[in-house]
């Protein structure tokens, strides 16, 4: 039995980074509870939800019984549709009343992830506050939980509806809160239910990887701060030790996982924890979901209708990262930005690209906001032609907050200042602060290569462009004087000066998230130059039966990248040893699929 299901309360929330398996675990948990005789409602608020695919039942925004599991029903809240309705409700009344530039700024305020999250929260607060929809259910299982930032915002009192109009918000998430004054009581009741350990349990889902564990440690702290103390940790996808016999790749994965778990934050080590072994199949269909919490023997049993049957088992042949770097090098200079969701390896790949360009004799500046400072220390000493800088997001964000509080917040009353301070705790704030720091290095790309990790989202770039300032003000001041000028935004939009690389994994959720990020960037006038599929087992080759099955499951995702999403792409194989240090990083851009296991 999974400990996180012992004596389960009415509400269970599953949260974690994209691709860690939280939807599969939420679905398997709902099945387990229902088959124990409980009445269960599974609710998904994940923008990349595939609950209907997992169950093989069309669900949508209505309570739908899962016919093959008596007692189980499911409901999918469409966050994008909820956000669109939310935007229409707020923007509609001011169109034609406020200037177009002001309306454009409000619309961009409402286009980011915070709007989607708050709109989804608005939908499921009804489920936490005695809605008729949940009457008769013993358990309500949520995939995914809201962030602590969202909950704190909804806890705040004050004139939300007037805050944005008075121009006191900065590049923020307060836009989504406009007009919510009437619903504060319902939100307060929902937050109380979330904070009650008798009513709610939060399950943090991670992989045994340092980036994934760091993320759930931050989530733990953020949610514990606002009262969600009853938390459990589930480490998903552990490599079974039995699979490592005779397979160096599997052994290397196991060793990496053990090292990551030993080094995880003390707050996580103190939590009740369950480990779930990596399965050889995709978790689609009831038979497979029932095996997720099973023994290794039952989990490797054959499943009827194997959707991987017939897939090629030969090692994948695909464009390599070295081919992309060859194309980048032909320009002799320029900005190379690597973007992607957390945990896909973009920092490592940024360093690999920088090392490869430097080894070819080009002057290169690698700048990163990754907290892993040891990477920059290693590279700065060992690679000729390469300079490395590390932007500390905490320092830059604090500097930005102080700047805004001293300017916009100087004459505010206590209530409005509290709103502004919470606004400045938004993830958008860190992106803007880090981008300002990155902007100081961008102009170097006119004479050398600048490789940047991590880049801001398209929403943040558009927000900077729409609400304030820099780009629009420069254009206004320069006018038609004939003087040449370039803003950071213009450089990012110029494919001759900037090459944007989207990094993903060969798994369903990371590919969907990268696709959404591409659309976000296109909205900002930025066309990604290439996609990089990282840590591919299919490109690495493996002896383990489990890994060979996982490799077959990757192929449809790689085909989707190659045929549907990317103008050009590369696949980087999963390596046995952690790619840390100049020589191992260089190997990532020199290795081809046929050499991966050499």
Closest CA to 351 of 317, 320, 323, 390: 390
Pairing state of beta strands 449-453 and 364-368? parallel
Q: Which of 17, 22, 279, 499 is catalytic?
A: 22
Q: Which residue has the tokens 């290397």?
A: 252
Q: Which of 16, 17, 18, 23 is catalytic?
A: 23
The secondary structure of residue 561, as a DSSP letter, is I
Q: What is the DSSP string of 104-144?
A: HHHHHHTTSHHHHHHHHHHHHHHHHTT-GGGTT-SEEEEES
Q: Quote the CA–CA distance of 186 and 125 in Å, as a whole number.
A: 7
Closest CA to 588 of 281, 349, 424, 312: 349
User: On the CB side of 385, how many CA atoms lie within 13 Å of its CA?
Assistant: 14
Two tokens, residue 197: 């350990």
Q: Is 483 a catalytic residue?
A: no
Q: Quote the CA–CA distance of 508 and 512 in Å, as a whole number.
A: 6
Q: Quote the CA–CA distance of 190 and 44 in Å, as a whole number.
A: 17
Q: Is 24 a catalytic residue?
A: yes
Give the number of residues written for the chain: 598
SS3 of residue 16 by DSSP: coil
Q: Which of 44, 46, 341, 589 is catalytic?
A: 46
Q: Which of 16, 17, 18, 21 is catalytic?
A: 21
Q: Which of 64, 387, 509, 589 is catalytic?
A: 509
Q: Which residue has the tokens 């050398």?
A: 448
Q: Which residue has the tokens 């069309």?
A: 58
Closest CA to 545 of 285, 291, 301, 257: 301
Q: Is 46 a catalytic residue?
A: yes
Q: Which of 24, 29, 49, 387 is catalytic?
A: 24
CA angle, 219 then 222 then 227, to 5°: 120
Q: What is the DSSP string of 136-195?
A: T-SEEEEESPPPHHHHHHHH--S-HHHHTTTT---SSS-GGGTT-GGGHHHHHHHHHHHH
Provide the strand spans (E) within 449-591: 449-453, 498-505, 530-536, 569-573
Q: Is 300 a catalytic residue?
A: no
Contact indicator for 281, 553 with CB cutoff of 8 Å = yes
Two tokens, residue 487: 């803003």
Closest CA to 223 of 147, 129, 143, 155: 147
Q: Which of 15, 17, 18, 19 is catalytic?
A: 19
Q: Quote the CA–CA distance of 393 and 375 in Å, as a whole number.
A: 16
Give catalytic residue positions: 19, 21-24, 46, 509
């Amino acid at each position: 039995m999974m400990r996180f299901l012992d004596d389960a309360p009415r509400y269970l929330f599953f949260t974690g980074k994209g691709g860690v398996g939280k939807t599969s675990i939420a679905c398997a948990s709902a099945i387990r509870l229902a088959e124990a005789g409980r009445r269960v409602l599974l609710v998904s608020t994940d923008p990349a939800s595939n609950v209907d695919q997992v169950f093989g039942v069309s669900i949508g925004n209505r309570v739908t019984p899962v016919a093959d599991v008596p007692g189980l029903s499911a409901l999918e809240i469409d966050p994008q549709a909820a956000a669109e309705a939310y935007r229409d409700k707020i923007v509609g009344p001011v169109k034609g009343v406020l200037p177009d530039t002001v309306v454009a700024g409000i619309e961009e305020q409402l286009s980011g992830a915070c709007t989607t999250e708050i709109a989804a929260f608005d939908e499921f607060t009804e489920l936490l506050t005695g809605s008729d929809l949940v009457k008769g259910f013993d358990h309500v299982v949520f995939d995914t939980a809201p962030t602590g930032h969202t909950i704190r915002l909804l806890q705040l009192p004050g004139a939300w509806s007037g805050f944005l109009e008075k121009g006191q918000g900065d590049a923020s998430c307060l836009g989504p809160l406009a007009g919510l004054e009437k619903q504060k009581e319902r939100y307060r009741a929902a937050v109380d239910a979330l904070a009650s350990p008798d009513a709610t349990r939060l399950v943090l889902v991670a992989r045994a990887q340092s980036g994934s564990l760091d993320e759930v440690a931050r989530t733990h702290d953020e949610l514990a701060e606002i009262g969600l103390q009853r938390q459990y940790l589930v480490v998903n996808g552990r490599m079974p030790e039995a699979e490592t016999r005779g397979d160096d790749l599997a052994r290397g994965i196991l060793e990496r996982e053990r090292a990551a778990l030993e080094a995880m934050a003390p707050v996580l080590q103190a939590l009740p924890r369950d480990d779930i072994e990596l399965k050889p199949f995709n978790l689609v269909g009831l038979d497979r979901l029932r095996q997720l919490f099973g023994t290794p023997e039952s989990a490797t049993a054959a499943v009827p209708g194997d959707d991987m049957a017939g897939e090629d088992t030969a090692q994948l042949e695909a464009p390599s990262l070295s081919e992309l770097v060859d194309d980048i090098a032909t320009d002799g200079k320029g900005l190379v930005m690597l973007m992607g969701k957390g945990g896909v390896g973009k920092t490592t790949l940024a360093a690999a690209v920088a090392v490869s360009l430097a080894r070819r004799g080009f002057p290169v500046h690698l700048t990163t906001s990754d907290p892993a400072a040891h990477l920059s220390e290693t590279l700065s000493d060992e690679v000729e032609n390469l300079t490395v800088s590390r932007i500390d997001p905490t320092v830059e964000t604090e500097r930005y907050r102080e700047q805004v509080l001293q300017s916009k917040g100087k004459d505010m009353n206590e209530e409005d200042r509290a709103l502004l301070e919470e606004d400045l705790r938004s993830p958008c704030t860190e992106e803007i602060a880090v981008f300002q720091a990155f902007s100081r290095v961008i102009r170097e790309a006119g004479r050398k290569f600048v490789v940047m990790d991590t880049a801001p989202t398209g929403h943040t770039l558009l927000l900077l462009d729409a609400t304030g300032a820099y780009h629009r003000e420069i254009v206004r001041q320069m006018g038609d004087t004939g003087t040449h000028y370039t803003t950071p935004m213009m450089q990012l939009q110029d494919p001759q000066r900037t090459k944007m690389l989207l990094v993903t994994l060969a798994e369903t959720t990371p590919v969907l998230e990268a696709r959404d990020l591409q659309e976000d960037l296109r909205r900002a006038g930025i066309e990604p130059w290439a996609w990089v599929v990282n840590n591919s087992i299919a490109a690495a080759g493996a002896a383990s039966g489990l890994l060979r099955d996982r490799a077959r499951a990757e192929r449809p995702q790689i085909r989707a990248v190659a045929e549907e999403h990317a103008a050009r792409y590369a696949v980087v194989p999963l390596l046995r040893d952690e790619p840390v240090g100049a020589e191992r990083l260089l190997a990532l851009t020199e290795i081809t699929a046929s050499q991966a296991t050499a």
